[in-house]
Structure 1
Amino acid sequence: MKKKPPSQSSIQPQRSNSSPNSVGSNHVPQDDNHDSEEQKALDAIARQFAYQIISGFDKSYRWHSRITAGAKERFENERWAESQLAIKERIAIYEQSLMDIVIDLYQQVHPKQQDQHFWKAAKNQYTKLLNDHPQFELAETFYNSVIGRIFKHSKIDDNMMFVQPSRCYLPGPDRDKVIYSFDTSGTVRAMHESIFNTYRFKTPFDNLSLDLENMDKALRARLNREQLASVHAVEMLKPVFYRGKAAYLVGRICMPSETLPFVIAMQMTDDGKLMVDALLTEQHHLSVIFSFARSYFMADTQNPAEVVAFLQELLPHKKHFELYMSLGFYKHGKTVFYRNYLQHLENTSGTTVNKGETVELSCADKFELAPGIKGLVMTVFHLPSYGVVFKVIKDEFAESKKITREYVKDRYRLVKSTDRVGRMADTHEYMNFRFPRNRIDQELLQYLLDTCASSVTLTDSELIISHLYIERKMTPLNLYLQQQTDPEKIRNVLNELGLCIKQIALANVFPGDMLHKNFGVTKTGRVIFYDYDEICYMSERQFRSLPKNDDPYAIDTLSVGPTDVFPEQFEHFIVGKKVFKDILKELHGDLMTTEYWLETQRITAQGIIQNFTPYPEQYRFVR
């Protein structure tokens, strides 16, 4: 229990800049206690400032946890529409909490009147409050957000905020608070029964005996007899991971020579009972479940650092910031990303690296324009050695784009709070993002100045962009199709393109600009949509058929409204080459019909929530 310090809101210490008083040659010394009294007053204000922020964070986290914990009841009662509203509400919590605390601080402390001594003292006092705090790392980010809001993100200074963490978290001390361990000395079935005796749901299972049999068969198909005999532990995270119409129990099977993911995927039957849909033991399946193109999980925990540490062991190729984001802590994920970014810059700065008896010089790569066709709305660039792209809104758009800068920002906010169904990339918004100027390619710098000058500030050592988005790097689909020669892979990626468009539409989002350059291909071959400046809800478009007559001028005289869409024209611009068009039409020809879009519009208008499983169909149990 934190003890609240006495209120010091009326105290406004000011540091004296005047010289000591003197009369002639007689020097009148200051009071020896003056500096110490001033320091005490400063510390008191800093302590109150820090306490108000930690109190604001704790309140915000309780609110976040309350919504997250409600996922269990929403799942059990199949309240899918409420689940989607909860996604939006939980995202909005952070900004609301931040606004409340900043308003309160201005009323109490007048932050902008304070000097550097105050900010160092405030950070020091806040650091003390983080001792033994179960969410200390998230609380650091909240403090950063407060400082960022006060100074409009113009100051990135580790003396004032937590650019670097206050301490390095070593996983393990709280492992028992987030992990269940199950006895593996008996039969496989007994172990599975023990799991379901631990995780309790109010909704009954449709056929638990069948589920246990399916799980037994799946595990025995994955592990031979010797491997099963060597299993010495099965560890499961205590939080249940809820998203969409599914719930996941996430853990691992521990053997002397290897460790496997162990994920039980559960859904509801048509008559509202619980069933086990799949048992997943492959790392790449778990990776897709935690994909950057899916909505954040609802997984209730008071020890997020320990949960993320466990997930990192299961998914060593995932970045720490990606795992925090997947749990809904996207603001802290941004903080961890920025730290990772700074570390990467340092590691690729062109310094001498010792490797055994040899000495190698690592070459510093430079930020450059991203491969592919230049965008009409965004300037996109990347660092070749780093796995993200940076997107900056242009000052002026092409004439074909009848939109504004604020409209583009609103589209990105829409995607943030939408169920991305594994087909829309998560993006993260940053203010005053800094790049080392000596790492900026000259062509990129000139292009930024030509297209985004209002967002760019140059100093002797830095390029500062006032507003940008960061997104996972993918291969643009148009480049993929140009480079790929394997017919099977081409066919697969065009099938993925059709599925991507259809699944986004069933999630109530019309993609708008469906040129293939606006889709990316992941390392696993999935197609993801990432251009959001023209997206809208399905209800905001009028799907129409072209005239059916022999008049060659009929289309020219057709009256077209700003919301009209003619699906029969899609085949002319989604993909370029005729061979690709023919494959897409063969696999997803219904996309080019008005009937398909009208039916999809009808489904979304009824509020029917779709269920897209993130693992292959062949892994689902047959019932």
Structure 2
Amino acid sequence: MYHSLLDKTSKILIEGFENYFRNFKELTSYTPRHFREKDWRAMKENHRKRLMLYKDQVFTTKSILYDLLKEKVADYDFWKKAKLAYILLSKERKDKELAETFFNSVIRKLYPDLAINEELMFVHEGFNSCEIYPNDNLYFTYPANWGLQKIIRSIIADFDFEAPYLNKEADIQFLVKAIREVILSRYTTTDETVTQVLKSVFYRNKAAYLIGRTYVGGKWMPFIIPFLNGPNGVYVDTLIFDPKIMAHLFSFTRSYFMVDVEIPSQMVAFLNSVITHKQVHELYNAIGFNKHGKTEFYRDFLNHLDHSEDQFVLAEGIKGMVMTVFTLPSYNIVFKMIKDYFDPPKTMTRQEVRNKYKMVGQHDRVGRMADTHEFEEFHLPLDRIHPNLMQELRSTVNSHLEIRNNELIIKHLYTERKMIPLNMYLEQCSLEEAKSAVEEYGDAILQLAKANIFPGDMMTKNFGVTRQKRIVFYDYDEIEFLTDMNFRWKPKPETFEQIYAFEPWYEIRPNDVFPEDFKKFMIGRQDVKSHFIEYHQNLFNPDYWTSIQNRIKNGEWIHALPYPNKIRFRPEEEV
């Protein structure tokens, strides 16, 4: 009976994972049709459904096991054996690292108050322990002796989107010209020169991306080819060689790609050789396996803890009214906790804040909102907590804390990429850097607006500066859908009482916004304030905000390109 229960448990777990992965692949498989038919509404809905798959499958599997196991749910010895049984079922799988993460997710939901436990869970396994399987189906190969024209024509032929082209011959010549200018002007091809392009197309929003690499000059030269499907057909938009732009395409501020993945570790290994600035957990996130990305991040964090000695401290910047934020100075992450009580004028509940973070996780982040990972029962070594931080935690988030066995146990937190708060950056940067930053700041707000996001609190302290000097929004407790807001011109006072009134004399409803007032608080640095106001005049015009609202309400999906307009092959009016 005992062994029968073990067998049933391990089989239910592996079947739960298989069901998740099968549905993941099925939803992903619809994407080429959506791109071909320019069905952007279906594309967005399909992406949202795929994001919800994992949590739904974990819940279903947990419920089945809870009914089966009853009092065995909290049997430590049983779960040790269940893990061994699961290893036997999953050890030959080519996606076993994902299967292990699924096991971890289910047991964390089932077993009461379970912390990270190496005996019961897969803690240190993962990507590096997975064989990178040989697979001829991973990429197309194009030898240099074919000649550049034939290689480019073959690539275009191999990726037929089954849709009319704007001008295929022009696309071919654009690509040939770009390669001659960037690669062949610097390197000479040899017998070893070869080009490889992943067979899987990376879809996101309204774009389709080919990802490849060319071995030339004794090293791999990566490249990305974006395709768009415009009013007059499919076209190649540009050819990307710049590693910074490629890294941005895979940024933590971008939504996950819809890409067909047969062997996840193999796909990540290829990407790791191309997008060299990204860590393994970021690449798993990028191809849609964000739960395993979270697992790989946690493993990286544990490894860093073992090889560092600094203490966790409060993060730099102005303290938030809703979140307590701390960091480990040697690690590029901040840890965010929802406070027990919010400072006035904040009136929301903790659950409302969690809902805002969930909203961001399911929305197109357009390169302007930071991705987060949510953790429960997060353990930190007590001796690594600086006394000043402990004092702050006790005074702001005490209900989330527990101390046990020389560990600080945090019941709930978010992790997010560390950035320099924009207000701090503006205090120390040069005038030219400040001008560039405030331009980016306004661009970020307007790009979020076009993605139907109104940030709410647009103070510079709520935006961060990345290593590439990109401005990113990271404070989500007041975000709303843009279409829910009411943008108004301020009424003009007509009487003496109205002119000298201490408070607004006109009615203000909860979602009313007066963009004219943005000028008062958006930029505090005086030597760039006028430049900001002149550069972003539309920000202060209610009619402009309303025009974006109307476009969204009319069903338009406003696409934000993740690369500069200046590198595009054609001007917008020609496509």
* TM-score computed with the length of structure 2 as normaliser: 0.96
2:268 & 2:481 partners in 1: Cα distance? 34
Matched, 1:577 2:525: yes
- Given that residues 126 and 296 in structure 2 are in contact (C-alpha distance below 8 angstroms), is that contact kept between their aligned partners in structure 1? no
Shift of 1:408: 0.4
Residue 227 of structure 1: SS of its match in structure 2?
coil
Deviates more, 1:551-560 or 1:494-503: 551-560
Gaps of 5+ in 2: none
- Given that residues 361 and 372 in structure 2 are in contact (C-alpha distance below 8 angstroms), is that contact kept between their aligned partners in structure 1? yes
State the match for 1:479 in structure 2: 424
Return the letter of the residue paired with 1:462: E
State the match for 2:347 in structure 1: 402
Residue 280 of structure 1: SS of its match in structure 2?
coil
Query: Which residue among 438, 442, 445 is the counterpart of 1:501?
Result: 445
- Given that residues 192 and 212 in structure 1 are in contact (C-alpha distance below 8 angstroms), is that contact kept between their aligned partners in structure 2? yes
Matched, 1:512 2:456: yes
Query: Which residue among 425, 433, 445 is the counterpart of 2:390?
Result: 445
- Given that residues 260 and 282 in structure 1 are in contact (C-alpha distance below 8 angstroms), is that contact kept between their aligned partners in structure 2? no
- Given that residues 294 and 373 in structure 2 are in contact (C-alpha distance below 8 angstroms), is that contact kept between their aligned partners in structure 1? yes
Matched, 1:333 2:293: yes
State the match for 1:268 in structure 2: 229
1:286-327 deviation per Cα after TM superposition (whole angstroms, max 9, x unaligned): 101101101000001111110001111112221111000011
Matched, 1:221 2:193: no
Structure 1 residues 444 and 303: alpha-carbon distance in aligned structure 2, compared to 1, 3 A threshold: same
Shift of 1:210: 0.2
Deviates more, 1:566-575 or 1:578-587: 578-587
Residue 270 of structure 2: SS of its match in structure 1?
helix
Matched, 1:310 2:263: no
2:439 & 2:275 partners in 1: Cα distance? 28
State the match for 1:120 in structure 2: 80
1:184 & 1:116 partners in 2: Cα distance? 59
1:438 & 1:575 partners in 2: Cα distance? 40
Shift of 1:152: 5.1
Query: Which residue among 370, 374, 381 is the counterpart of 2:319?
Result: 374
Aligned length: 566
Shift of 1:228: 4.3
1:604 & 1:580 partners in 2: Cα distance? 32
Residue 236 of structure 1: SS of its match in structure 2?
strand
Shift of 1:518: 0.3
Shift of 1:100: 1.0
Matches within 5 A, 1:96-115: 96-110=56-70, 112-113=72-73, 115=75
Query: Which residue among 362, 380, 390 is the counterpart of 1:417?
Result: 362
- Given that residues 308 and 324 in structure 1 are in contact (C-alpha distance below 8 angstroms), is that contact kept between their aligned partners in structure 2? yes
Shift of 1:512: 0.3
Shift of 1:454: 0.7
1:193 & 1:167 partners in 2: Cα distance? 36
- Given that residues 111 and 150 in structure 1 are in contact (C-alpha distance below 8 angstroms), is that contact kept between their aligned partners in structure 2? no
Work out which of the two has the higher radius of gyration on C-alpha atoms and give 1 or 2.
1
State the match for 1:562 in structure 2: 510
Residue 177 of structure 1: SS of its match in structure 2?
coil
Residue 201 of structure 1: SS of its match in structure 2?
coil
Q: Percent identity?
A: 38
State the match for 2:197 in structure 1: 236
Return the letter of the residue paired with 1:507: A
Structure 1 residues 369 and 237: alpha-carbon distance in aligned structure 2, compared to 1, 3 A threshold: same
Structure 1 residues 221 and 166: alpha-carbon distance in aligned structure 2, compared to 1, 3 A threshold: closer
Deviates more, 1:581-590 or 1:546-555: 546-555
Shift of 1:155: 2.7
Shift of 1:431: 0.4
Return the letter of the residue paired with 1:233: V
2:300 & 2:64 partners in 1: Cα distance? 32
Matches within 5 A, 1:172-191: 172-191=132-151
Structure 1 residues 529 and 111: alpha-carbon distance in aligned structure 2, compared to 1, 3 A threshold: farther
State the match for 1:195 in structure 2: 155
1:209 & 1:66 partners in 2: Cα distance? 34
State the match for 1:594 in structure 2: 542
Residue 475 of structure 2: SS of its match in structure 1?
coil
Residue 275 of structure 1: SS of its match in structure 2?
strand
- Given that residues 177 and 303 in structure 1 are in contact (C-alpha distance below 8 angstroms), is that contact kept between their aligned partners in structure 2? no
Shift of 1:168: 4.0
Residue 185 of structure 1: SS of its match in structure 2?
helix
Query: Which residue among 55, 63, 68 is the counterpart of 2:23?
Result: 63
State the match for 2:214 in structure 1: 253
State the match for 1:34 in structure 2: none
2:369 & 2:267 partners in 1: Cα distance? 25
- Given that residues 420 and 504 in structure 1 are in contact (C-alpha distance below 8 angstroms), is that contact kept between their aligned partners in structure 2? yes
* TM-score computed with the length of structure 1 as normaliser: 0.88
Matches within 5 A, 1:351-366: 364-366=309-311
Shift of 1:204: 2.4
Return the letter of the residue paired with 2:50: R
Shift of 1:129: 1.1
2:373 & 2:76 partners in 1: Cα distance? 30
